[in-house]
Structure 1
Amino acid sequence: MVLLRAKCILIGNSKVGKTALAQTFHSEGTHFPKSYSLTTGVSTCVKTVQIPDTPHSVEMYILDSSGNELYSDLVVHYWENPSMVALVYDVTDPQSLASCPMWLEKVRSQKPEIAFPGALIANKSDLTNRWVVNSEEGRRFADGKGLAYFETSAKDSIDVDAPFLYLATEYYKLYEDRVRGLIN
């Protein structure tokens, strides 16, 4: 059995639900934070993800990064050697999607020579009456940047596991490819 360790950078504007996603995923849907204090800097949670159809797993260190520009110099320090990126926007806030290219560039600039798995997460899908960023817009951006696209609701614990399972599985596949390259 292989246990890989991976650093997952969770990024996006303030108030898109990054902390709620991380906490809901970490607690397997049993905990949704009812009150918030904005993340200052980076908070970390760790969860082991079993890779489907294998005995292997990935221990994900999820770095929930502040979306406040005031802390941007501080959080970049924690982003060294990323293994994967989860980019989050709020479906009720068009500006949060418009900021995604900037966030993605900040993370990718940490290791520009290395391709690592990425996911674009459209959060707050439960707010159907306030949804203004259409899914096609998000999918187009994700496709153009080589990211997988997911729609989630941390509040209702809808599909919260899907992007993290995808990232862990893709990271494991990269590991397998490297091992095969060494063997052949």
Structure 2
Amino acid sequence: MVKLAAKCILAGDPAVGKTALAQIFRSDGAHFQKNYTLTAGVDLVVKTVPVPDTADSVELFIFDSAGKELFSEMLDKLAREWESPNVLCLVYDVTSEQSFSNCGKWLEKARAQIPGASLPGVLVGNKTDLASRRAVDPAQARSWALDQGLECFETSVKEMENYEAPFRYLATQFLHLYREKVELFRGLV
């Protein structure tokens, strides 16, 4: 049984639901807050995620970063102080084409922290409960995510739908990378 720790950066524009996603995940869907204040800086959410089909788990340290450009340098500072992130969760609002377009900027900023290394990640389209206001086509989002080497998910935190899947995927990917590195080191000995 292995228990690992991974640093996860949660990034995206303001008001896309990053904090709601992190909070509902931490509480196992126990409650959805109707009102959130915009994150100023970085909040930390910690949760142990059992990896399916194994006896292993990954403790995710989820750094919920503010989405305002004013605070985007927090990602830079965070990465320097806590070393490089291990996994990335990009979040956009399915009713906002701009929040989806800006994911490229957030991805570039996160990848700049670990040049030359692999950064497993997910793209999460939130607020699917607002289907009548949808502005981002799911196929377009999936295509972009795959082109960037990311897995794509959609969720409705408000309806508590699919909020665990992105984090379970990240934990599984992190464990997979860990095992690959262990095998690489064993091959060197």
The within-5 A match list for 1:26-105 is 26-79=26-79, 80-105=83-108
RMSD of aligned residue pairs (Cα, Å): 0.9
Report sequence identity in percent.
49
Letter in 1 for 2:121: G
CA deviation profile, 1:11-57 (whole Å, cap 9, x unmatched):
00000000000001111111212211100000001000001111110
**Separation in 1 of the partners of 2:103 and 2:8?**
16
Provide the aligned length of Structure 1 versus Structure 2: 184
Shift of 1:74: 2.7
Moved more, 85-94 or 129-138: 129-138
Aligned to 2:157: 154
Match of 2:122 among 119, 125, 133: 119
Q: Give the gaps of 5 or more residues in structure 2.
A: none
Task: Name the structure 1 match of 2:180.
Answer: 177
Which amino acid in structure 1 is aligned with residue 110 of structure 2?
V
Residue identity in the other structure for 1:64: D
Report the counterpart of residue 9 of structure 2 in structure 1. Answer: 9
State the Cα deviation string for residues 121-159 of structure 1 (Å, max 9, x = none).
010011111111110110111011000000001111100
Residues 42-101 of structure 1 show CA distances to partners (whole Å, capped at 9, x for unaligned) of 000100000111111000000000001111223321134100000000000000011011
* TM-score, length-scaled by structure 1: 0.97
Q: What TM-score, normalized to structure 2?
A: 0.95
Q: Which amino acid aligns with 1:140?
A: S
